[in-house]
Amino acid sequence: MTIKKNSRPVKNLISVVGPTGIGKTRLAIDLAKYFNTEIISCDSRQFFKEMEIGTASPSSEELAEAPHHFIGNLSVKEYYSIGQYEEDALQKLNDLFEKYDTVILVGGSMMYEKAVIEGLNDLPEANTENQQKLQEILDTEGIEKLQEILKELDPEYYGVVDFHNHRRLLRAIDIIWQTDKKYSELIAISQDSRDFNVIRVGIEAPREELYNRINRRVDIMMEKGLMEEAKGLEQFKELTALNTVGYAELFKFFEGVWSLEFAVEEIKKNSRRYAKRQLTWYRKADDIHYVQMGYSPLDFDHLIAYIGQQTSH
Q: What is the CATH number of the domain that holds 170?
A: 1.10.20
Res 189: pLDDT: 64
Of 119, 93, 115, nearest to 104 (Cα)? 93
Shared domain for 301 and 210, answered yes or no, is yes
How many domains in the chain? 2
Shared domain for 181 and 99, answered yes or no, is no
Shared domain for 184 and 211, answered yes or no, is no
**Type of residue numbered 131:** Q
String of b and e for 41-57 (b: at least 16 CB within 10 Å)? bbbbbbbbebbbbbbbb
Shared domain for 147 and 111, answered yes or no, is no
Q: Is residue 5 part of a domain?
A: no
The residue out of 141, 173, 188 marking a domain boundary is 188
Of 25, 8, 5, 6, nearest to 17 (Cα)? 25
Shared domain for 203 and 285, answered yes or no, is yes
Q: Kindly report the CATH number assigned to the domain that includes residue 82.
A: 3.40.50.300
Of 172, 174, 173, 164, nearest to 142 (Cα)? 164
Structural domain of 158:
128-188
Q: Would you tell me how many other CB atoms lie within 10 Å of the CB of residue 244?
A: 24
Of 70, 63, 108, nearest to 214 (Cα)? 108
Q: Nearest-5° angle of CA 167, CA 171, CA 174?
A: 135
Q: Is residue 207 part of a domain?
A: yes
Shared domain for 163 and 229, answered yes or no, is no
Res 79: pLDDT: 87
Q: What does each of the 313 residues of the chain score in pLDDT, given as a tens digit?
A: 444 445 567 899 999 999 999 999 999 999 999 999 999 999 999 999 999 999 999 999 999 999 999 999 999 999 888 889 999 999 999 999 999 999 999 999 999 999 999 887 777 778 889 989 999 999 999 999 999 999 999 998 898 887 778 888 998 999 999 989 898 888 776 555 688 999 999 999 999 999 999 999 999 999 999 999 999 999 999 998 899 999 999 999 999 999 999 999 999 999 999 999 999 999 989 999 999 999 999 999 999 999 999 985 4
3-state SS, residue 221: helix
Which DSSP category does 124 fall into? P
CB 85 within 8 A of CB 115: yes
CB 292 within 8 A of CB 205: yes
Phi and psi of 242, rounded to 5°? -90, 0
Q: Rounded distance, CA 245 to CA 248, Å?
A: 6
Which DSSP category does 74 fall into? B
Res 7: pLDDT: 55
Write out the H or E segment, with its range, that includes residue 157: helix 155-158
Shared domain for 66 and 82, answered yes or no, is yes
Q: What residues contact residue 54 under an 8 Å CB cut-off, 6+ apart?
A: 45, 221, 226, 229, 230, 244, 246, 247
Burial of 176 (0-12, 13-18, 19+ CB in 10 A): buried
